[in-house]
Structure 1
Amino acid sequence: MNFFFPRLLLTAACALALGACTSIQLEPLPEGLTDQPPADWSERSERLKNLQSWELSGKLAVKQPSDSGTAIINHWIQERDAYDLELSSSFLGMGRTSLQGVPGFISLTLPDGETYRSGDPEALIAAATGWQLPLNSLVWWIRGLPGPDGDFRLLFNDENQLAMIRQEGWEIRYDRWQPFIAGYPALPARITAVKEDKRVRVVVVQWNETTDPAR
């Protein structure tokens, strides 16, 4: 399955996303989008922030100038700040690769059992796989929320759904939403994050809330 938009659509998405930057004001806004949040946005975003313990599965696709590839997300288990992410891919011989960590620290275990640890999670992943993944922000973006650090701008569509976040030089486009978990607003089922010539797409197949051990 091809998880990448054709170049024409990517170009259009990048042009559309320029309206999502806090430091760049484009008027008029792209057709069908607004920077005015819906009336329930504050309540909805607070509810999503409260979803801090979950397990999801799906697919990951990365495209960048040096290489591209896809991986199965066997599981992404999140317990507040701690994550346990297991990927399977034949890309670069990754096989079944496991990542455990918290903000500012990661442990990466390769298929042969060799384990690497680092205080710079994104640098370690890039060194081990060649992929540049914004891990610290993905935990927020995957829920349809801007990260807590740095400026951002939100754009909403005519269905009052979040359509795009622009933050940290990334343009995060929300392609599909789905009511995965009872009692919570719809969650992203497919997101595409673009930064310069890098693109990351996550497709969520299943998403469940788990018991928070801190409660």
Structure 2
Amino acid sequence: MSRLGIACAAACLLLAGCVTVPHGKGVAIGELSTAAEKTAIAAQQARERVLHALPTLAFDGRVALSNGRNGGSGRIEWRQSADRYNVTLSAPVSRQSWRLTGDAASARIEGIAGGPRSDTDVVRLLREATGLEVPVGALAAWAAGARADVQAFGPARLEFTADGTLARIEQDGWIVDYLGWREAHPGAGGPEGGQRLQLPDRINAARGDARVRLAIDTWSWAPEAP
């Protein structure tokens, strides 16, 4: 077996059969009037301004990844600050995990067969190390229900439900469907009475054979405890 095959097999062994990520029943796209669509877009822009102003954004939950042939599921912890990310994927049953850290210019993955690997391109790094395609640079924004940086990922198309709730983002060839929302608050460490936000709790993203499904249990944007 090639080094790539060994790494991919190790990644699938790590994630397979660990946790259940609900599929959901699909997204319900509504047909809005011109005025209603303008209102929905304005509300989306206001949400994005709030999200972009947050110094940190973090979520914990469950993730399922696949490439059409291989894949699996596990726990995920994601911490984002500007373009810096710290992501841990873990399998509670096997107690295996791998950790991805980096920013717009570099990325490093640890916990895979053959030892840590680094690259300037995080998508290429994950593809070569695990056989999976994950839009790391955009996923934190998409997970929060926001468009990713247009300079890096191009323009986005938005679709809404009949009541104006964000239902889908199409960007960089990915289709991101929003299957559930919840009111979130800053979490432990945040000020009492801190700002609350409506944030997604179930997201399906797909491009070609690549699939990423998220079921988010908790959100936080409170500063890390010292």
Residue identity in the other structure for 1:125: L
Give runs of aligned pairs for residues 117-132 of structure 1, distance below 5 A: 117-132=118-133
What displacement does 1:103 show? 1.2
The answer to whether the aligner puts 1:54 opposite 2:57 as a matched pair is yes
Fraction of identical pairs, as percent? 26
Residue identity in the other structure for 2:134: L
Give runs of aligned pairs for residues 157-176 of structure 1, distance below 5 A: 157-176=161-180
What displacement does 1:113 show? 9.1
Give the corresponding residue for 1:69: 72
Give the corresponding residue for 1:211: 223
Deviations 1:10-67 (A, max 9, x none): 7xx6xx8xxxxxxxxxxxxx5x244824253332221122234023210110122220
What displacement does 1:5 show? 4.0
Residue identity in the other structure for 1:195: R
CA distance in 1, matches of 2:209, 2:22: 13
CA distance in 1, matches of 2:80, 2:45: 23
Query: Structure 1: where are the runs of 5+ without partners?
Result: 17-29
Give the corresponding residue for 1:191: 203
The answer to whether the aligner puts 1:43 opposite 2:46 as a matched pair is yes
What displacement does 1:199 show? 1.4
More divergent stretch after superposition (60-69 vs 35-44): 35-44
Counterparts in 2 of 1:5 and 1:112: CA distance versus 1, 3 Å: closer
Deviations 1:110-138 (A, max 9, x none): 16793211101011111222211010111
- Alignment TM-score, normalising by the size of structure 1: 0.78
Give the corresponding residue for 1:84: 86
More divergent stretch after superposition (148-157 vs 106-115): 106-115
Determine which structure has the larger helix proportion and give its number.
2
CA distance in 2, matches of 1:85, 1:207: 14
Query: Structure 2: where are the runs of 5+ without partners?
Result: 1-18, 186-193
Deviations 1:166-195 (A, max 9, x none): 011110000111111251430111110011
Q: How many residues align?
A: 191
Residue identity in the other structure for 2:181: W
1:141 aligned counterpart, secondary structure: helix
* Contact 2:158–2:170 (Cα < 8 Å) also in 1: yes
CA RMSD across the alignment: 2.8
CA distance in 1, matches of 2:91, 2:127: 15
1:72 aligned counterpart, secondary structure: strand
* Contact 1:88–1:95 (Cα < 8 Å) also in 2: yes
Counterparts in 2 of 1:2 and 1:155: CA distance versus 1, 3 Å: same
* Contact 1:33–1:158 (Cα < 8 Å) also in 2: yes
Residue identity in the other structure for 2:56: S
* Contact 2:21–2:62 (Cα < 8 Å) also in 1: no
* Contact 1:95–1:111 (Cα < 8 Å) also in 2: no
